[in-house]
Amino acid sequence: MAADKANPGSDPVVLRVKDLHKSYGDNHVLRGVSMDLRRGETKVVIGPSGTGKSTLLRCINQLSIPDSGHVWLGDLEVTSRQTNINKIRAQIGFVFQSFNLFTHLTALHNVRIGPMKVGGMKKGEATRLAMEELERVGLADKVDAYPSELSGGQQQRVSIARALAMFPQLILFDEPTSALDPELIGEVLEVMISLAKDGMTMIVVSHEMGFARAVADEIIFMESGVVLEQGSPDELFVRPKEQRTQEFLRKICELYGE
């Protein structure tokens, strides 16, 4: 696999996805997707809209229940009925396109509610942790702000801090910058790039090609519910094998001017 070339197979596999299928009514969104994610690896998933990229992320932490197929987090089978899904989800960060910060809580409380109510952490300790994580995303001065008082970029950074405060094994990003004004995208990408460089394991659904080029160990091109092509940024951007990949990348480049 291409991932092995970029990252010669030494790190343990954190997440294993095998042959996932998911339909909504007649719409067969995922038609057998498999992938392995090693510790510290960043994979960027691209592809036309309606291809099942978001569904794939949601099926990984069971926010959508896949119709068939398996997901493992380390040795634990996520898709098994015996598994306590809440314990799994606590270890998988999820960053939403629309942020979904808790509207009635300040930035600080948004970040510390997970460690406190799920992790059972004491208030003082959780507060310290939340401060640290907010500092990490550059929002130390916004701890007392409510979501509505923050810009989209700031909200998304709080939501990244909220995910980080759970000490996740990996973080799933579902189009984290698609809902942002162009001038706010940079600050979010900056945080994500520094996470990737710090060795966070992540799957990112995004069309930010600059980001993909900078940090992706592997790019996955999905279309119509299957992985059409995957490889390092160089392989995919410079010499894509599939014609569909070429066409898609050309469109994206026209759009984003790269």
Which residues sit at the interface with another protein, rule CB under 8 A? Answer: 61, 63, 86-94, 96, 98, 100-104, 113-114, 117-118, 146-149, 159, 162, 166
Instruction: Supply the angle between the helices 107-117 and 123-136 in degrees, to the nearest 10.
Output: 130
Judged by CB, which is closer to another protein: 172, or 222?
Answer: 172
Judged by CB, which is closer to another protein: 117, or 251?
Answer: 117
DSSP string, 161-216: HHHHTT--SEEEEESTTTTS-HHHHHHHHHHHHHHHHTT--EEEE---HHHHHHH-
Judged by CB, which is closer to another protein: 117, or 197?
Answer: 117
**Shortest Å, Cβ 242 to another protein:** 33
β-partners of residue 72 are: 16, 77
Judged by CB, which is closer to another protein: 38, or 58?
Answer: 58
Counting beta carbons within 10 angstroms of the beta carbon of residue 26, is it exposed (0 to 12), middle (13 to 18) or buried (19 or more)? exposed
**Shortest Å, Cβ 229 to another protein:** 29
**Shortest Å, Cβ 149 to another protein:** 5
